[in-house]
Amino acid sequence: MIEKRVSQAVLELAMSTGADYAEIYAEDTTYDSIGMVADCVEAVNTSRDRGAGVRVFSGTNSVYAYGNGVDEGSLLSLASKAAAAVNGVKGENKNVVLAERDFGAVCRSVTPVSEVSKADRVNALKEAYFSAKDESPRIVQVRGILNSYVKHVYVANSEGVIGADERPYIRMFIVSVASDGTENQVGNVGPGAGAGFEFIRGLDLKALGKKASATALTMLDAKKCPAGKMPVVMAGGFGGVIFHEACGHSLEATSVGLGNSVFCGKLGQKIAADCVSACDDATMPGEWGSLAMSDEGEKTRRISLIENGVLKGYMIDKLGSRRMDMPSTGSGRRQSYALAPTSRMSNTFICPGKDNIEEMIGGVDLGLYAANMGGGSVNPVTGEFNFSVMEGYMIRNGQIAEPVRGATLIGKGHEILFNIDRVSSDMELGQGMCGSLSGSIPVNVGQPTIRISEITVGGEVK
């Protein structure tokens, strides 16, 4: 994407006023999107975004300049601006020697979306859309979206690295709304992968649509969930959103490096029950949150966060590494060239255990089974969270019973980790977009089915 000699000149200019590190990040991304609503194709869009940024460090101070140009003149201009912001005083000439590094490929596109006709893509979306719409006369609205994009990333830095990564992404959303004339309930599905159109062809599209509508219809007929403290059995996949939000962000250098985390200074200490282990793994082939190279030119890896309840590691980017005086873990990510990278999650999950699902449900006299989670909010400093349950059922006498709606799970992430007393082996991942200082990025949340011995459930107070 950028000639080696140009990268070398840009990095040397960026460091000419005293910076001790410099980095070039460039990307070229093509986006495709198809949307359906009211039984019609609403939009078919293709767009392209291209640009670059130059970042410099002076100790733990960071300066970032970016623009749309990736030509030599534009990059030198960015380097000059970044260098001027350091101190504006010419320092010693710093020679940068660059070498290309092969990071391999974690995600591949067997069938690039660009090689699939728009008609075939529309037909795939229609199959899932109308399956959802035809599920019941009470399904009053369906929205379908098929998004895909391919991001070509280039990084060169003063540590001597030149790296490149091609990242394909594809995801289908089906959102169904059920109504009885007075109330509405929503169900949605959104499978995605780091792959090409072969991922869509491998889905059961009719089952996908039916699943979204089935959730909406089930919750439409459900009674309100009772409030109180009770055991909760949380299904795999999107149940992991609580760990992601309430604990994962607190294990990022973005929080830890500034002292804004409940997990600061707790490496090697007990922070969860013995049955809890957790990882962040960007190397999982073809997954939505995977990438071979970080946005700072480092090879990604599997990071052990918690092992048998003990805190083993954090997710650390280059700037966080300086703040924390710890090695980077290749966790620097960003939405685009318009943002400087920060430490971010990729595929973050509670690891599989050995418990039997039937036994963990069977051991609950009265509790809640959270089949699917919705949105929520969290305070990353305190770990306090509040998440809605999209699809829930009461557990009575060890059996999953009637559906209930309006349930929320309320607590503190670092406290709930100690209340997990059962972890099954059925680990699943769920796809989502995570927002932070460096924008919105694809991530997987995940976990096996787990049991929380006690948690506050918000609902109807009788």
Q: What is the pLDDT of residue 89?
A: 62
**What is the radius of gyration, based on Cα positions, of the chain?**
24
The C-alpha atoms of residue 247 and residue 383 are separated, in whole angstroms, by 7
pLDDT at 221: 94
Tokens 């590691």 correspond to what residue?
A: 313
Q: Which residues contact 421 (CB under 8 A, 6 or more apart)?
A: 273, 275, 451, 452, 453
Phi, psi dihedrals of residue 407, rounded to the nearest 5°? -80, 140
pLDDT at 384: 87
| Separation CA 380–CA 262 (nearest Å) | 8
State the Cα–Cα distance between residues 90 and 326, nearest whole angstrom.
30
Question: Which domains, and CATH codes, for the chain?
Answer: 4-220 (3.30.2290.10), 223-458 (no CATH)
Q: Measure the CA–CA gap between 346 and 338, rounded to whole angstroms.
A: 20
3-class SS of residue 318:
helix
Indicate the SS3 state at residue 414.
helix
Q: What is the pLDDT of residue 382?
A: 80
Helical H runs in 287-428?
Answer: 318-324, 357-362, 413-419
Per-residue pLDDT of the chain (462 residues; tens, 9 = 90+): 899 999 999 999 999 999 999 999 999 999 999 999 999 999 999 999 999 999 999 999 999 999 999 999 999 999 999 999 997 666 667 789 999 999 999 999 999 999 999 999 999 999 999 999 999 999 999 999 999 999 999 999 999 999 999 999 999 999 999 999 999 999 999 999 999 999 999 999 999 999 999 999 999 999 999 999 999 999 999 888 989 988 999 999 999 999 999 999 999 999 999 999 999 999 999 999 999 999 999 999 999 999 999 999 999 999 999 999 999 999 999 999 999 999 999 999 999 999 999 999 999 999 999 999 988 778 877 888 899 999 999 999 999 999 999 999 999 988 999 999 999 999 999 999 999 999 999 999 999 999 999 999 998 766
Q: Could you give the CA distance from residue 462 to residue 405 in angstroms, rounded to a whole number?
A: 15
- pLDDT at 91 (0 to 100): 61
pLDDT the model gives residue 246:
85
Q: Two tokens at 104?
A: 């391999």
Tell if the pTM clears 0.85, that is, is over it: yes
What is the C-alpha separation between 76 and 149, in angstroms, rounded?
Answer: 29
Q: Rounded to whole angstroms, how far apart are CA atoms 248 and 327?
A: 18
Residues in Cβ contact with 129 at an 8 Å cutoff, skipping those fewer than 6 apart: 36, 39, 142, 144, 174, 209
